[in-house]
């Protein structure tokens, strides 16, 4: 039974990105968003300044809602190492790497803090608040995939995130996929991220055509059938998407897969991409729904807020 004490009625979330810090407060009883606002991260000014921006936003949330936050969830561009308590793998706010972000914020705010990366937040948001909760509420195993500037994932089992021993649960974007992929910031070559992310697809097109185009332009040209290299770029996307997702299906066999990020807007992922998954999985059929997200750019902050309901 839901605890009806004031601090349990509201879910408080912060989405910490490289350029913005976004805050939201959600009424748990009806899922209404009572507050949502963004301010600059100002990561170039250093670690202490980023913490100050987060603290400032939490204080504003408290003032507007007229309640004290006792438990805040924070989505981050990296992950907290369970062994050290320090943030790692933050590529767009590098001043956070190696810092005890969670402990410092909990101390300075004097409240309980939960943290997860953006892909984890996306997965729990679409499971608890978004498309999965509406279309497949009975799903017990959900894999959320982010395909945009990077590639990441989050695994939800029985409405709970799976972080794993090292905090990297769901990090399929840094599995090796193909030697034709590019060099990755993680130090390896050919990661999923460096084959099917937006920048990797744009780089492939540029290398083959000698012309730089945005992914949107490439997709438009491929759909019009006026550019063979654009067509090959989308074929590369669906082929390797199928191989990468098939590995996930073979290992965890989720009830639902939900896609997010800019690349997830490409229609052929849900047709040709799905067919490619079918051709690679260890089964004679592939019935898992692959869903488009419904929360848009609110998924990160909504997922961060839901972190406080998982403990």
Residues 214-218, mean pLDDT to the nearest whole number: 97
Give 105's pLDDT tier (boundaries 50, 70, 90). very high
Tokens of residue 100, six digits: 């005890």
Query: Same fold for the domain at 6-117+298-309 and the one at 131-293?
Result: yes
User: Does the pLDDT value for residue 40 go beyond 60?
Assistant: yes
Given this model, what pLDDT does residue 1 score? 28
**What pLDDT score was predicted for residue 135?**
97
Rounded Cα distance between 199 and 302, Å, is 26
Q: Are 39 and 64 in contact, with CB atoms under 8 Å apart? A: no
Tokens standing for residue 120: 């984890």
Question: For residue 3, what pLDDT is reported?
Answer: 43
Q: What is the DSSP string of 108-149?
A: HHTSEEEEEEHHHHHHHHHHHTSHHHHH-TT-SEEEEEEESS
pLDDT in tens, 153-170: 999 999 999 999 988 999
Element (H, E) at 73: strand 71-76
pLDDT digits (tens, 9 = 90+) for 243-279: 999 999 999 999 999 999 999 999 999 999 999 999 9
Return the bridge partners of 147, or none: 151
* Statement: residue 211 has pLDDT above 60: yes
For the ranges 15-29, 192-206, 207-221, the lowest mean pLDDT is seen at: 15-29
Q: What is the mean pLDDT of residues 295-300?
A: 92
pLDDT of residue 77: 84
Confidence of residue 209 (pLDDT cuts 50, 70, 90): very high
DSSP string spanning 238-272?
A: HHHHHHHHHHHHHHH--SEEEEESGGGG-GGGGTH
Query: What does the alpha-carbon distance between residue 156 and residue 128 come to, in Å, rounded to a whole number?
Result: 10
Assign 91 a pLDDT band (cuts: 50, 70, 90): confident
Q: What percentage of the chain exceeds 90 in pLDDT?
A: 82
* pLDDT over 70 (residue 7): no
Whole-angstrom distance, CA of residue 55 vs CA of residue 57: 5
- For 44, other C-beta atoms within 10 Å of its C-beta total 11
Mean pLDDT of 207-223: 97
Indicate the average pLDDT of the chain: 93
Tokens of residue 62, six digits: 């408290």
- Asked whether residue 6 carries a pLDDT value surpassing 90, the answer given is no
Q: What pLDDT score does 65 carry?
A: 95
Q: Is the pLDDT of residue 309 over 50?
A: yes
Return the domain boundaries, the chain.
Answer: 6-117+298-309, 131-293
CATH class entry, domain 6-117+298-309: alpha beta
Q: Which residue is associated with the tokens 């040209």?
A: 221
Burial 178-201 (b: 16+ CB within 10 A, else e): beebbebeeeeebbbbbbbbbebb
Using alpha carbons, select from 126, 171, 105, 125 the residue that is nearest to residue 307.
125
List C-alpha distances in Å: 36 to 19, 46, 76, 294. Answer: 16, 25, 17, 17
Tell me which residue of 216, 186, 220 sits closest to 201, measured CA to CA: 216
pLDDT of residue 311: 64
Split at pLDDT 50, 70, 90, the class of 179 is: very high
pLDDT of 5 over the 50 cut: no
pLDDT at 8: 65
d(CA 171, CA 174): 6
* pLDDT of 18: 81
Class of domain 131-293: alpha beta
């Amino acid at each position: 039974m839901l605890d009806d004490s004031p601090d349990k009625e509201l879910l408080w979330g912060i989405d910490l990105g490289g350029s913005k810090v976004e805050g939201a407060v959600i009424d748990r009883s009806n899922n209404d968003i009572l507050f949502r606002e963004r301010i600059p991260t100002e990561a170039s000014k250093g670690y202490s300044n980023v913490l100050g921006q987060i603290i400032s936003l939490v204080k504003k949330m408290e003032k507007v809602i007229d309640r004290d936050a006792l438990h805040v969830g924070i989505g981050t561009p990296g992950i907290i190492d369970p062994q050290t308590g320090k943030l790692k793998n933050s590529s767009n706010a590098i001043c956070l790497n190696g810092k005890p972000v969670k402990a410092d914020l909990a101390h300075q705010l004097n409240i309980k803090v939960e943290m997860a990366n953006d892909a984890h937040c996306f997965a729990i948001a679409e499971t608890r608040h978004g498309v999965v909760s509406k279309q497949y509420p009975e799903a017990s195993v959900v894999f959320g995939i982010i395909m945009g500037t990077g590639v990441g994932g989050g695994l939800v089992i029985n409405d709970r995130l799976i972080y794993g021993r090292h905090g990297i649960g769901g990090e399929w974007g840094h599995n090796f996929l193909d030697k034709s992929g590019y060099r990755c910031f993680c130090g390896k070559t050919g990661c999923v991220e460096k084959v099917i992310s937006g920048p990797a697809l744009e780089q492939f097109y540029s290398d083959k055509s000698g012309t730089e185009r945005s992914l949107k332009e490439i997709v438009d040209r491929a759909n019009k059938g006026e550019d063979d290299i654009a067509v090959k770029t989308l074929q590369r996307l669906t082929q390797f998407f199928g191989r990468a997702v098939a590995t996930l299906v073979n290992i965890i066999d989720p009830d639902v897969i939900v896609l997010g990020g800019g690349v997830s807007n490409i229609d052929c992922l849900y047709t040709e991409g799905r067919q490619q998954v079918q051709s690679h999985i260890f089964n004679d059929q592939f019935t898992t729904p692959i869903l488009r997200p419904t929360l848009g750019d609110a998924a990160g902050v909504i997922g961060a807020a839901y972190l406080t309901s998982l403990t």
